[in-house]
C-alpha cells in the first residue's frame, strides 16, 4: 500500500464539493426555506409569535416529534417504516404513571424505556428475521399496542406526582425546557451516528441496495432489527416526556403521532423508498410542523386549519423537492 507512485485522482474539487453540498442537502435547504418563510410570516402577522416565551414553548412542544423523527429517519432510510410509534407513546406514557405509583421513579423510568425498546425489538425481529414487511408488522403493533394501553388503564389517565419524573417534562436549564435539551442531544447523536459511523453508512446501504450490502459481508437483518428497536426506544422516551409534561399518563397520548413524525421526516428530504435521509432535515421538518400549529393558533384562525395547512405544506415541499431536485442534481434514473 505504501509503494504507490501513480499520481492519484483528486479526491475532490472545490467547485464539485460545493455543488455536491447543494445536491445532497437540497431537501434540508428547501424545508429550511419553508420554515424561514413561515417564521417571518408569523412574526409579522402576530405579536406573540416572536417572543422568547413562545419560542421556548414551541421548542418544548416539538421535542417528542423531533426525538422520534430522528429515529424514524434511520428506519425510513433503510426503506422500512414504523407505524407503531404513536401507540408506543400511549402505552409508555400510561405505563410510566402506573409503574411510578408503586415503584421507585427511576426504576419506573428504566422499565418504561425497556418496554418501548422491547416493542421495537419485536417489530424488528418480525421484520428482519420473520421476513415480514415492516409496514404490516408495525400496523399490527399500532392497533395491538394501543389496545394494551387502553386495557391496562381502562381508558383512564393516571396522575404523576414524583418529583423525579416531573422535571423531565417541566424542568428548565439555561432558559430551555428539559425536553428541548433531550431533543438537541438526540439530534446531535443521531447526526453523528447517521453520517459518521459504519452503522449509519449501512443504514443508507440497506435502503439503497440491501443485497449488495449483504454480499459485502454485512448482516442486513441486524441493521433492520437495530433501527426498529431504536424507534421503539425513542417512542418510549417521547411517551415519558409527554406524560411528565402533562403530569399524567394517558393511554390516549400519541394518537396520530406516527403520521406527524413520518410527515416531519419526509418534509426533511428523507426518501420513503430508502437510501437517502437527513437527520437535520427531519428535525427541521418537525419544527416546521410545530411552528405551523403554533402560528395558526396565535393567528386565532380556526384550529381545524392546522392539519389542512400541514398537509398542504407537505404536498408543496414534496413537489418542490421532486421537481427541483431532479433538475439540480441531474441524477440519472
Partner 1 sequence: MTSATRDVSVPRVEMRGIHKSYGALDVLRGVDLTVGRGEVVGLVGDNGAGKSTLMKMLAGAVFPDAGEIRVDGVALTGSGPRAARAAGIEMVYQDLALCNDVDVAGNLFLGREIYRPFSRRLDHRRMHEEAAQDLATLHIRIKDTRQLVANMSGGQRQAIAIARAVTFEPKVLVLDEPTAALAAREVEMTLQLIRDVSSRGVSVVLITHRLQDLFEVADRFVVLYEGVNHSQLKPSETDLGGLVTAMMGK
Instruction: Give the whole-angstrom CA distance, residue 114 versus residue 105.
Output: 14
> What's phi and psi for 219, nearest 5 deg?
-80, 100
Question: By CB under 8 A, which span of 34-42, 101-109, 213-221, 262-270 interacts with partner 1?
Answer: 213-221
Tell me whether residue 5 or residue 102 sits nearer to partner 1 (CB atom).
5
Residue count at the site for partner 1 (CB under 8 A)? 38
Residue 33: Cβ within 10 Å count:
12
Instruction: Give the whole-angstrom CA distance, residue 43 versus residue 119.
Output: 41
Question: In the set 53, 154, 300, 330, which binds partner 1 (CB under 8 A)?
Answer: 330
Is 45 a binding residue for partner 1 by CB under 8 A? The answer is no
Q: How many helices (H) and strands (E) does the chain have?
A: 14, 4
Instruction: Give the whole-angstrom CA distance, residue 54 versus residue 59.
Output: 9
Question: By CB under 8 A, which span of 2-10, 130-138, 160-168, 313-321 interacts with partner 1?
Answer: 2-10
Question: By CB under 8 A, which span of 15-23, 50-58, 153-161, 179-187 interacts with partner 1?
Answer: 15-23
Question: By CB under 8 A, which span of 14-22, 51-59, 279-287, 311-319 interacts with partner 1?
Answer: 14-22
Question: In the set 103, 201, 221, 222, which binds partner 1 (CB under 8 A)?
Answer: 201
Q: Do 1 and 239 contact (CB within 8 A), yes or no? A: no
Is 196 a binding residue for partner 1 by CB under 8 A? The answer is yes
Exposure of 319 in the CB half-sphere (CA atoms within 13 A): 6
Is 326 a binding residue for partner 1 by CB under 8 A? The answer is no
Looking at residues 260 to 279 of the shown chain, list those that interact with partner 1 (rule: CB under 8 A).
275-276
Question: In the set 131, 215, 300, 327, which binds partner 1 (CB under 8 A)?
Answer: 215
Question: In the set 25, 54, 57, 208, which binds partner 1 (CB under 8 A)?
Answer: 208
> What grid cell was written down for 112?
418504561
Question: By CB under 8 A, which span of 36-44, 156-164, 194-202, 292-300 interacts with partner 1?
Answer: 194-202
Is 6 a binding residue for partner 1 by CB under 8 A? The answer is yes
Q: Do 184 and 190 contact (CB within 8 A), yes or no? A: no
Is 218 a binding residue for partner 1 by CB under 8 A? The answer is yes
Is 20 a binding residue for partner 1 by CB under 8 A? The answer is yes
Question: Cell 408569523 belongs to which residue?
Answer: 42
Smallest Cα–Cα separation from 121: which of 266, 48, 225, 218?
A: 225
Is 322 a binding residue for partner 1 by CB under 8 A? The answer is no
> What's phi and psi for 330, nearest 5 deg?
60, 30
Is 213 a binding residue for partner 1 by CB under 8 A? The answer is yes
Question: In the set 7, 52, 53, 102, which binds partner 1 (CB under 8 A)?
Answer: 7
Question: By CB under 8 A, which span of 106-114, 182-190, 195-203, 240-248 interacts with partner 1?
Answer: 195-203
Is 2 a binding residue for partner 1 by CB under 8 A? The answer is no
Helix (H), strand (E), coil (C) string for 283-311: HHHHHHHHHHHHHHHHCCCCCCHHHHHHH
Tell me how far, at minimum, the Cβ of 137 lies from partner 1, in Å. 24
Spell out the alpha helix ranges (H) of 198-331: 198-215, 220-246, 257-267, 279-298, 305-329
Instruction: Give the whole-angstrom CA distance, residue 180 versus residue 200.
Output: 24
Calculate the CA dihedral of residues 309, 235, 233, 127 and round it to 10 degrees: -70
Using CB under 8 A, list all residues that contact partner 1. Answer: 1, 4, 6-13, 16-17, 20, 192, 196-198, 201, 204-205, 207-209, 211-218, 275-276, 329-333
Amino acid at each position: 500500500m505504501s509503494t504507490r507512485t501513480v499520481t492519484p485522482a483528486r479526491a475532490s474539487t472545490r467547485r464539485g464539493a460545493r455543488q455536491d453540498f447543494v445536491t445532497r442537502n437540497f431537501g434540508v435547504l428547501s424545508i429550511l426555506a419553508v420554515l424561514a418563510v413561515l417564521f417571518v410570516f408569523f412574526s409579522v402577522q402576530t405579536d406573540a409569535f416572536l417572543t422568547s416565551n413562545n419560542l421556548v414553548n414551541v421548542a418544548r412542544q416539538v421535542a417528542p416529534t423531533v426525538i422520534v423523527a430522528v429515529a424514524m429517519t434511520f428506519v425510513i432510510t433503510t426503506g422500512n417504516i414504523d407505524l407503531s410509534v404513536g401507540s408506543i407513546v400511549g402505552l409508555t406514557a400510561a405505563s410510566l404513571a402506573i409503574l411510578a405509583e408503586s415503584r421507585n421513579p427511576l426504576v419506573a423510568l428504566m422499565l418504561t424505556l425497556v418496554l418501548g425498546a422491547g416493542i421495537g425489538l419485536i417489530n424488528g425481529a418480525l421484520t428482519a428475521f420473520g421476513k415480514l414487511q415492516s409496514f404490516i408488522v408495525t400496523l399490527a403493533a399500532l392497533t395491538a399496542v394501543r389496545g394494551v394501553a387502553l386495557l391496562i388503564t381502562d381508558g383512564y389517565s393516571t396522575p404523576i406526582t414524583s418529583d423525579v419524573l416531573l422535571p423531565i417534562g417541566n424542568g428548565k436549564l439555561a432558559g430551555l425546557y428539559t425536553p428541548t435539551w433531550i431533543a438537541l442531544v438526540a439530534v446531535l447523536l443521531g447526526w453523528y451516528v447517521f453520517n459518521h459511523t459504519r452503522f449509519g453508512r449501512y443504514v443508507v446501504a440497506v435502503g439503497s441496495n440491501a443485497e449488495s450490502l449483504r454480499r459485502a459481508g454485512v448482516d442486513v437483518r441486524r441493521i433492520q432489527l437495530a433501527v426498529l428497536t431504536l424507534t421503539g426506544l425513542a417512542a418510549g422516551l417521547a411517551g415519558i416526556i409527554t406524560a411528565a409534561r402533562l403530569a399524567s399518563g394517558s393511554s390516549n397520548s400519541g394518537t396520530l403521532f406516527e403520521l406527524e413524525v413520518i410527515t416531519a421526516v419526509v418534509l426533511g428530504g428523507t426518501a420513503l423508498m430508502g437510501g437517502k435521509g437527513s437527520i437535520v432535515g427531519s428535525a427541521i421538518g418537525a419544527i416546521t410542523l410545530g411552528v405551523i400549529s403554533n402560528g395558526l393558533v396565535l393567528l386565532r384562525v380556526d384550529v381545524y386549519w392546522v392539519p389542512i395547512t400541514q398537509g398542504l405544506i407537505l404536498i408543496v415541499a414534496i413537489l418542490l423537492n421532486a421537481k427541483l431536485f431532479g433538475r439540480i442534481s441531474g441524477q440519472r434514473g
